[in-house]
Structure 1
Amino acid sequence: MNAVKLYRVGNWFYQRRVPVVPGLIRNLIFLLFNSYIPVSANLGKGTIFAYGAIGVVLHANAKVGTGCVLGQGITIGAAEGYVTSEINKCPVIGDNCYIGAGAKIIGDIKIGDNCQIGASAVVLKDIPNNSIVVGIPARVIGQTSVDYKAIRP
């Protein structure tokens, strides 16, 4: 059993408004993988966690597209009251994105499709499709190829 499979089971119960079970599964994910992956988050089909999802923190309202790879130690979180007047505005990650180990994606931003986010990057602004971003704060340094795939067969 891995974190994605447990998340999918918990999300299934969450979508059907079954009480207690989603919370138990979220806690089980935390105990097994030292990660906070709420079952209310939206992970697209085929999205996976690298290295067993060690140390991953996702906001309950986070949205991640299909076919993405999420590295260990990442945070996808909301902008809080000190950053914006609206709380719980979460990132939306496009399809086919790779998020490197330790990356932080914070706030009401959109990451386009087919993007690569470098290890330990701190992303605070929108990122266009097919971008490669690195740094603190993250900046675009290149473009992914037209046939880029985050998950290679």
Structure 2
Amino acid sequence: MLNAIHLYRAASWLKRRHIPLLPRLLTLLIFLLYNSKIPASASIGKGTRLGYGGIGVVIHDRAVIGEFVMIGPNVTIGGRSGHYEVPVIGDHVDISTGAKVLGPVRIGNNVVIGANAVVIKDVPDNAVVAGVPAKIIRIQQN
């Protein structure tokens, strides 16, 4: 089934090959079909999935998302006023429905971000965070 991530991958591939107009058209198509902003310039790793096709997902142009990340619907990964840096998300992260990851934050590997959490501070590896603003509620031991 067609998913916003598939359209993003096509747009990103075209952008890396310096094809000028098609990446913008695919980004517009993502917006029209899924009400999402997933720009071709964002760096999204392999195996990353968007829940429910990616409905309502907003990703910053310069955001870096690792491999095998699960992004739920209505998630925002973006900047904050007064900060140039944007989020860097590690591998094997689950970002639940409605979560916001904002500003110059680094999310470690194997992290779970709870539903509607607002992450504005760095999160270490193997953590579970929830709340507004998000707080670490558990560190998973391996």
TM-score tier, shorter chain, comes to over 0.9
Aligned to 1:35: 36
Is 1:75–2:76 an aligned residue pair?
yes
- Contact 1:116 1:144 (C-alpha < 8 Å) held by counterparts: no
Gaps of 5+ in 1: 147-153
- Contact 1:43 1:64 (C-alpha < 8 Å) held by counterparts: yes
Which of 82, 91, 97 is the matching residue for 1:95?
91
What is the identity, as a one-letter code, of the residue corresponding to 1:143?
I
| Distance in 2 of aligned mates of 1:71 and 1:96 | 14
Shift, 1:112, TM fit: 0.1
| Distance in 2 of aligned mates of 1:143 and 1:26 | 37
Percent same amino acid at aligned positions?
Answer: 48
What is the identity, as a one-letter code, of the residue corresponding to 1:133?
V
Gaps of 5+ in 2: none
Q: Secondary structure at the match of 1:102?
A: coil
| Distance in 1 of aligned mates of 2:132 and 2:15 | 35
| Distance in 2 of aligned mates of 1:104 and 1:15 | 28
Aligned to 1:64: 65
May I ask how many residue pairs the two structures share in their alignment? 141
What TM-score do the two structures reach when normalised by structure 1?
0.89
Deviations 1:89-114 (A, max 9, x none): 11000000000000000001100000
| Distance in 2 of aligned mates of 1:12 and 1:18 | 9
Aligned to 1:49: 50
Q: How does 1:121-136 map to 2 (within 5 A)?
A: 121-136=117-132
Shift, 1:80, TM fit: 2.1
Q: Secondary structure at the match of 2:33?
A: helix
| Distance in 2 of aligned mates of 1:16 and 1:68 | 25
What is the identity, as a one-letter code, of the residue corresponding to 2:90?
G
Shift, 1:51, TM fit: 1.1
- Contact 1:111 1:127 (C-alpha < 8 Å) held by counterparts: yes
Aligned to 2:109: 113
What is the identity, as a one-letter code, of the residue corresponding to 2:31?
F
Shift, 1:79, TM fit: 2.2
What TM-score do the two structures reach when normalised by structure 2?
0.96
Runs of 4+ in structure 1 displaced over 3 angstroms? none
| Distance in 2 of aligned mates of 1:136 and 1:2 | 30
